[in-house]
Amino acid sequence: MEIRVAGDARIDVLRNDDGYSRALVAVAIGKDEVLAQFGARETLATPNYLTVQTGPETHILLAPEHLQYINHSCEPNVFFDTTRMEIIALRDIAAGEECTFFYPSTEWTMDRAFDCLCGSSACLGRIAGADMLDADALERYAFNQHILDRLAERLAEAA
């Protein structure tokens, strides 16, 4: 059974008996709408499994805290924009849908890589950060500026 353990007017965080949590969109939102604004409870110099990378050497613990329960998907419906500090809908999202984002869109190298079970036909399998993505995946997804900068640096180094 799942119970609501956190959230706000637009997001419900549900947790099941195994302790697995997911964040659902509580109210339907349209493509490009802002689902939430976020800030930092704390800024760290190194990533951990809860942080979101916002710059070359900045990793934040999210405020409000319940945003940390937004899981990864290889077919995400929201984007964490770390310049505007807003979570933006990538498409129309119905009330009750789980919100998910593509972790490598913010993370260069993840503290805990994992084998993705998102079930998408486009699932990439191992998720370890933008540094480990192939050219195909880099074409397919949107990334934040600090990730685009690292990709450009890497290209320049290889040239």
- Sites of contact with Zn ion (CB under 5 A): 74, 116, 118, 123
Closer Cβ to Zn ion, 18 or 115, answer by number? 115
Closer Cβ to Zn ion, 59 or 72, answer by number? 72
**What's the min distance (Å) between Cβ of 123 and Zn ion?**
3
- Strand order through the sheet with 39-44: 39-44, 58-63, 52-55
Closer Cβ to Zn ion, 118 or 151, answer by number? 118
**What's the min distance (Å) between Cβ of 72 and Zn ion?**
7
**What's the min distance (Å) between Cβ of 34 and Zn ion?**
25
Cβ within 8 Å of residue 107, ≥6 positions away: 47, 52, 53, 129, 130, 147
**What's the min distance (Å) between Cβ of 113 and Zn ion?**
13
How many whole angstroms separate alpha carbon 139 and alpha carbon 112?
Answer: 24
Closer Cβ to Zn ion, 95 or 117, answer by number? 117
**What's the min distance (Å) between Cβ of 77 and Zn ion?**
13
Closer Cβ to Zn ion, 60 or 90, answer by number? 90
How many whole angstroms separate alpha carbon 104 and alpha carbon 110?
Answer: 8
Q: How many Å is the Cα radius of gyration of the chain?
A: 15
Question: Under a CB-based contact definition with an 8 Å cutoff, are residues 82 and 106 in contact?
Answer: yes
Question: Under a CB-based contact definition with an 8 Å cutoff, are residues 100 and 142 in contact?
Answer: no
